[in-house]
Amino acid sequence: MLSSRVQPAAIADSPYKFDFNLVNGNYYLTNNIGFTQRGAEGTELIRFLDRDPRFLQTNLGLGGMSVLFSLPRKQGLAIQFQLRAAGSTQDLTADFITQINRFSDQRFIDSNVTNQTGEFAFAAWQELALTYAFVQKDDGFHRWKVGGTLKFVNPMGSVWLDMQDIDYSVDNVGIVNFTEFRSRFGYSANLDRYQQFDGTDAFNGLPKGTGFRPAVDFGVVYERVAYRRDPRAANRTALERDITYEFKLAASITDLGIMNFDQGSAAFATLGVNPGVPTPGDILDNINSFQELRDSLDTFLQIEGIDGTYSVSLPTSLNLSYDYNVGNNLYFGASARIDLTGLLPADFRVAYPNSITLNPRYETGNYGFYMPIFYNFSGDTDLGMALRYGAFTVGTPSFGSFVSKQKKSGGVYFSVSINKLKANSKKPYCFGRSTTGSGFTRTQRTPLYKRKRFLFF
């Protein structure tokens, strides 16, 4: 069922009579700004010194109590609920991010930095999704599936940064002098009451959403069917495979939608530098709230408040995939994700990175082993690993983060599902099991009728 989040058509002609997901979650973060490592004073962030463009990508999700039903005529219907959050940068230059709050470092003195730009946006939302899919054509050799998802998205909060132009120089004793500082900082108004923004309430619960609005997914799947006929099929007593394709091709567009927010009360823009006012070297020291950040920058910059509304894209993407059934429970998949948020009329973009994933795997009815290799076009490569046994799946998209002392990425995901495979025979009082495909149970895969030859045997 969870595969419908990337490809709605996947639930058409499902091998499951039903699939009930109790809980699922995922977390992933990757960046090239810095890495964490344990030192004498605890975990510390070490920033990279190269001048490559910077990126930061993160996404989180928590869902459950979701269900898939197989309908007559190879149709499928799924209902899912989850909490989601995602954050990403766009066109982020390196120097200012690398040097801020340590301009007096010997590596940065006697330097001039110009044209520092970049955007960052983060948003969280609730999501109720209704997915329907059906088999458009199946002639025994070619199978076409079509599906769509209608989502009801409830935005729960957003934070954003827009660096338009920052220029500065650092003298031979480490004193910084800004000559240009045009930027904007903001967040959504429903966060005003919290201490971390412009209020007094502790952030100990989920923010109130701003109201549900629609979004959509849609997709199509082509499968080259690989039927292996069994003489027992004529008597309708043969076990059938859960996965019946030789290979499949799929394409989908997901998260097509926009969220709207009111500006927070402490949102502001910096218009330039106050002439004759010295610049502090510790701009971010002792900053505990958005309002304190505004007050700190107000000591040497010209500040103007921001009001009105703004829009943030959902992480709209085009998803392409190919999956090949090697045989003997082995499969090989390849997929690509292409960011489409630049096509949406939104003020800020929350986007997934352009990426390619290779996913060799071994699957039987009761267990599976997965080893995806992920590459995003910002230059980051991760090796993932996952195990499935029965109802339980657990894994990580970044196995290296568990063994490396210097961590620049990390993540984990898990799922607990209870499902029941369809019957392939209408004859009762008989039992069988599946050892192939993606079923979770090793018992009672489907009735298998065997007439007794003798009365007591």
Predicted TM-score of the model (pTM)? 0.88
Q: What is the pLDDT of residue 40?
A: 75
State how far the Cα of 203 lies from the Cα of 212, in Å rounded to an integer: 22
Q: Which portions of the chain are predicted below pLDDT 70?
A: 227-242, 281, 423-457
Q: Which of 59, 117, 53 is CA-nearest to residue 83?
A: 59
List b or e across 226-237, with b for residues whose CB sees 16 or more CB atoms inside 10 angstroms: eeeeeeeeeeeb
Share of the chain above pLDDT 70, in %: 89
Q: Which of 384, 342, 323, 418 is CA-nearest to residue 27?
A: 384
Q: Give the DSSP letter of residue 41.
A: T
State how far the Cα of 239 lies from the Cα of 242, in Å rounded to an integer: 9
Tens digits of per-residue pLDDT, 16-42?
888 999 999 999 999 999 998 887 777
CB atoms within 10 A of CB 204: 6
